[in-house]
Chains A and B, each alone.
Chain A
Amino acid sequence: MSDNAPFAPWDDPGATPLISYKSVTKEFGNFTAIDAIDLDIFAGEFFALLGPSGCGKTTLMRMLAGFEAPTAGQIVLAGQDLAGVPANQRPVNMMFQSYALFPHMNVWDNIAFGLRRDGLPKDQIAARVEDMLRLVQLQKFAKRKPDAISGGQRQRVALARSLAKAPKVLLLDEPLGALDKKLRQETQFELVDIQEKTGTTFMIVTHDQEEAMTVSTRIAVMDEGVIKQIDTPATLYEAPNSRYVADFVGDVNLIEGDWRGDALHWADGQAPLAVTSDAAPGQAWLALRPEKIAISKDKPDAANTVPGQVIDIAYLGNLSTYVVEIPGGQKIRAQATNARRLSRRDITWEDKVWLSWTATAGLVLTE
Chain B
Amino acid sequence: MKMSRFNVISLTLGFAFLYLPILILIVYSFNESRLVTVWGGFSTKWYGVLFQDERFLGAAWVTFYVAFISASIATILGTMAAYVLVRGAKFRGRTLFSGMIYAPLVMPEVITGLSLLLLFISIGLDRGGFTIILAHATFSMCYVSVVVSSRLVSFDRSLEEAALDLGATPWQAFRLVTLPIIAPAVAAGWLLGFTLSLDDLVIASFVSGPGATTLPMRIFSEVRLGVSPKINALSAILIGMVALGVIVASLTTKRRAMA
List A residues at the B interface (Cβ < 8 Å).
Answer: 65-67, 86-89, 92-94, 96-98, 100-104, 113-114, 117-118, 145, 161-162, 165
Q: How far is the CB of B252 from chain A (nearest CB, A)?
A: 14
* Contact in complex: A104, B166 (CB < 8 Å): no
* Contact in complex: A93, B165 (CB < 8 Å): yes
Say which one of B46-54, B69-77, B122-130, B154-162 lies at the interface with A: B154-162
* Contact in complex: A117, B167 (CB < 8 Å): yes
What 0/1 pattern do residues 160 to 182 of B give for CB contact below 8 A with A? Answer: 01111111111010001100110
Contact among B158, B159, B170, B172 with A117 in the assembled complex (CB-CB below 8 Å): B172
* Contact in complex: B167, A98 (CB < 8 Å): no
* Contact in complex: A145, B259 (CB < 8 Å): yes
* Contact in complex: B158, A88 (CB < 8 Å): no
* Contact in complex: A102, B177 (CB < 8 Å): yes
Q: How many A-B residue pairs lie within 8 Å, measured between CB atoms? A: 62
* Contact in complex: B166, A161 (CB < 8 Å): yes
* Contact in complex: B167, A100 (CB < 8 Å): no
* Contact in complex: B156, A88 (CB < 8 Å): no
What 0/1 pattern do residues 134 to 170 of B give for CB contact below 8 A with A? Answer: 0000000000000000000000101101111111111
Which residues does chain B contribute within 8 Å of A97, judged by CB atoms?
158
Which residues does chain B contribute within 8 Å of A100, judged by CB atoms?
156, 158-159, 161-162
Taking CB as reference atom, which chain B residue is nearest A67? B161
Dominant SS among interface residues on chain B = helix
Which residues does chain B contribute within 8 Å of A92, judged by CB atoms?
165
Q: How far is the CB of B259 from chain A (nearest CB, A)?
A: 7
Starting from the known contacts A88-B164, A113-B176, 4 additional A-B residue pairs (CB-CB under 8 Å) come to: A65-B165, A102-B163, A102-B181, A117-B167
Taking CB as reference atom, which chain B residue is nearest A103? B181
Contact among B161, B167, B168, B169 with A96 in the assembled complex (CB-CB below 8 Å): B161
* Contact in complex: B259, A118 (CB < 8 Å): no
In the bound complex, what is the Cα–Cα distance between A113 and B224 (angstroms)?
61
* Contact in complex: B156, A117 (CB < 8 Å): no
* Contact in complex: A98, B156 (CB < 8 Å): yes
* Contact in complex: B165, A104 (CB < 8 Å): no
In the bound complex, what is the Cα–Cα distance between A145 and B172 (angstroms)?
21
Taking CB as reference atom, which chain A residue is nearest B160? A100
Interface centre among A66, A86, A97, A100 (most CB of B within 10 A): A100
- 12 A-B pairs with CB atoms under 8 Å apart are A88-B166, A94-B165, A96-B158, A96-B161, A100-B156, A100-B159, A102-B181, A104-B180, A104-B181, A117-B168, A118-B167, A145-B259
Q: How many chain B residues touch A (Cβ–Cβ < 8 Å)? A: 19
In the bound complex, what is the Cα–Cα distance between A92 and B159 (angstroms)?
16
In the bound complex, what is the Cα–Cα distance between A120 and B172 (angstroms)?
16
* Contact in complex: B166, A93 (CB < 8 Å): yes
* Contact in complex: B166, A165 (CB < 8 Å): yes
Which residues does chain B contribute within 8 Å of A114, judged by CB atoms?
166-167
Which residues does chain B contribute within 8 Å of A101, judged by CB atoms?
162
Which residues does chain B contribute within 8 Å of A102, judged by CB atoms?
159, 162-163, 177, 181
Which residues does chain B contribute within 8 Å of A117, judged by CB atoms?
166-168, 172
In the bound complex, what is the Cα–Cα distance between A193 and B123 (angstroms)?
71
In the bound complex, what is the Cα–Cα distance between A93 and B168 (angstroms)?
12
Which residues does chain B contribute within 8 Å of A98, judged by CB atoms?
156, 158
In the bound complex, what is the Cα–Cα distance between A117 and B259 (angstroms)?
25
* Contact in complex: A87, B172 (CB < 8 Å): no
In the bound complex, what is the Cα–Cα distance between A102 and B172 (angstroms)?
13
Q: How far is the CB of A112 from chain B (nearest CB, A)?
A: 10
Contact among B167, B180, B181 with A88 in the assembled complex (CB-CB below 8 Å): B167
Which residues does chain A contribute within 8 Å of B170, judged by CB atoms?
88
Contact among A87, A103, A118, A145 with B165 in the assembled complex (CB-CB below 8 Å): A87
Which residues does chain A contribute within 8 Å of B165, judged by CB atoms?
65-66, 87-88, 92-94, 162
Q: How far is the CB of B90 from chain A (nearest CB, A)?
A: 11
Which residues does chain B contribute within 8 Å of A113, judged by CB atoms?
163, 166, 168, 176
Taking CB as reference atom, which chain B residue is nearest A94? B165
In the bound complex, what is the Cα–Cα distance between A124 and B70 (angstroms)?
45
In the bound complex, what is the Cα–Cα distance between A98 and B159 (angstroms)?
9
Which residues does chain A contribute within 8 Å of B163, judged by CB atoms?
102, 113
In the bound complex, what is the Cα–Cα distance between A89 and B169 (angstroms)?
9
Taking CB as reference atom, which chain B residue is nearest A145? B259
* Contact in complex: B168, A88 (CB < 8 Å): yes
Q: How far is the CB of A17 from chain B (nearest CB, A)?
A: 22
Which residues does chain A contribute within 8 Å of B168, judged by CB atoms?
88, 113, 117
Contact among A87, A118, A165 with B164 in the assembled complex (CB-CB below 8 Å): A87
Which residues does chain B contribute within 8 Å of A87, judged by CB atoms?
161, 164-165
In the bound complex, what is the Cα–Cα distance between A161 and B159 (angstroms)?
13
Taking CB as reference atom, which chain B residue is nearest A97? B158
In the bound complex, what is the Cα–Cα distance between A191 and B214 (angstroms)?
65
